[in-house]
């Protein structure tokens, strides 16, 4: 009978663990690549969701302004003018006049409509601050990346806006006889809903514009100016060029600041070169009230533009908000901006 073989005991540590194989470099790179692909797929979805939220907020702003216009009309039995001559040329905008109806009564208290906006201030810790420099939240599209004040020599001086008043197709104002264009808002003119012969549901009140727009102004051509059909014609009309100050003054009722026209369809590129740089521009023959001795009329190509893909949002005079695509027929777009064209409108 054999004796059982005994084996020496091998001491073990209680902290010992079974050995495991580490990740190889190839496996690590594969994992990183998969994570990168997933992030790449997820990021556009997140960006799309954010833009959808911003667009909804923009629509809410337009709705709020549209209702404010209705409340103004209900209170005063007339619509506000797009611009009024205060004697200094710096006439107040429609957007300034409806401030109490968008819960901006405190800001409205600092306005004296008999004076130019450059003379209106509010006290901030005993320091006078220009009313024009205050940010009005309802006038800011959240998709506009340049949500900031325009600086002057002593600090913030003006603030931009993204929602402009409908001032018609091309002709805006004749200082010689106070005639205005075919839009729903005009200089020195308090119109009413009864003046909208095309019907409130067929006429624009507001449309989106981009802040900090380049533009030409004050070429002061006398007499009639034929409306251009092609955008490149604008580059030949001349004027004093400003690189980035269009639609940066919500207080200023002049069309290049607080209005738009339907000369061109939404987001049309009006590309002109200035000092070797190409800009997408607006154009105004003569600013309203710029020179009371000069009879030059105000003709304007101030295009509705937005940061939303595919078109612009508009406020209709009946209080509704719609999205108009860039491909809208030009004649239809222009018909929507006239108050008395008697067109038969079918919304796109």
Give the pLDDT score at 110. Answer: 87
The model carries a pTM of 0.86
pLDDT of residue 4: 56
- Whose tokens are 């269009």? That residue is 246
Domain count within the chain: 1
| R_g (Cα) of the chain, nearest Å | 29
Q: Is 219 helix (H, G, I), strand (E, B) or coil?
A: coil
The predicted structure's pLDDT at residue 101: 97
Say which DSSP state 89 is in: S
Answer for the pair 305, 208: CB distance below 8 angstroms, yes or no: yes
Q: Is residue 43 part of a domain?
A: no
State CA 329 to chain mean position distance: 21
Question: In the prediction, which pLDDT does 99 show?
Answer: 97
Structural domain including 187 reads 61-337
pLDDT at site 22: 65
For the chain, the distance separating the N- and C-terminal CA atoms, rounded to the nearest angstrom, is 105
| 15-31: b (≥16 Cβ within 10 Å) or e | eeeeeeeeeeeeeeeee
Mean pLDDT by groups of 10 residues along the chain of 348 residues: 52 55 74 82 69 90 97 96 78 95 92 84 82 96 94 91 98 94 95 95 97 96 95 96 97 97 98 96 94 86 96 97 97 96 81
Q: Answer for the pair 322, 177: CB distance below 8 angstroms, yes or no.
A: no
In a domain? residue 44: no
DSSP states along 297-348: -EEEE-----SSTTEEEEEETTS-EEEEETT--HHHHHHHH-SS--------
In a domain? residue 297: yes
The three-class DSSP label of residue 222 is coil
Q: Specify if 318 maps to a domain.
A: yes
Query: How distant is the alpha carbon of residue 93 from its chain centre?
Result: 15
Q: Return d(Cα 95, Cα 80) in angstroms, integer.
A: 9
Residue 134 included in any domain: yes
Confirm whether 170 is domain-assigned.
yes
> CA angle, corner 186, sides to 185 and 188, nearest 5?
130
Per the domain annotation, does 216 fall within a domain?
yes
Residue 101, domain member (yes or no): yes
């Amino acid at each position: 009978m054999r004796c059982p073989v005994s084996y020496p005991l091998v001491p073990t540590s209680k902290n010992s663990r079974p050995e495991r194989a580490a990740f190889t470099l190839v496996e690590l790179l594969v994992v990183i690549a998969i994570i990168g692909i997933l992030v790449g797929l997820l990021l556009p979805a997140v960006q799309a969701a954010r833009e959808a939220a911003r667009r909804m907020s923009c629509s809410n702003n337009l709705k709020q302004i549209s209702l404010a216009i209705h409340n103004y009309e209900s209170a005063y039995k007339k619509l506000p003018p797009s611009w009024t001559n205060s004697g200094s040329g710096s006439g107040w905008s429609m957007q300034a006049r409806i401030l109490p109806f968008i819960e901006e009564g405190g800001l409205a208290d600092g306005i004296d409509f008999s004076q130019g906006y450059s003379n209106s201030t509010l006290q901030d810790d005993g320091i006078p601050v220009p009313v024009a420099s205050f940010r009005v939240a309802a006038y800011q599209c959240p998709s506009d990346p340049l949500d900031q004040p325009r600086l002057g020599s002593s600090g913030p001086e003006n603030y931009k806006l993204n929602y402009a008043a409908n001032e018609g197709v091309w002709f805006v104002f004749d200082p010689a006889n106070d005639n205005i264009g075919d839009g729903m808002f005009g200089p020195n003119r308090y119109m009413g809903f009864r003046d909208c012969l095309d019907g409130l549901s067929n006429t624009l009140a507001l449309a989106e514009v981009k802040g900090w727009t380049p533009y030409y102004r004050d070429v002061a051509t006398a007499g009639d100016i034929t409306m251009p059909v092609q955008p490149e014609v604008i580059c030949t009309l001349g004027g004093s060029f400003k690189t980035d100050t269009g639609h940066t003054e919500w207080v200023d009722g002049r069309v290049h600041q607080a209005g738009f026209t339907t000369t061109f369809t939404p987001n049309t590129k009006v590309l002109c070169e200035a000092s070797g740089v190409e800009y997408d521009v607006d154009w105004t023959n003569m600013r309203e009230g710029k020179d009371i001795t000069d009879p030059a009329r105000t003709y304007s190509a101030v295009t509705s533009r937005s940061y939303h893909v595919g078109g612009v949002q508009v406020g209709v005079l009946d209080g509704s908000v719609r999205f108009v695509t860039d491909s809208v027929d030009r004649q239809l777009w222009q018909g929507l901006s006239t108050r008395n064209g008697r067109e038969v409108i079918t919304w796109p």
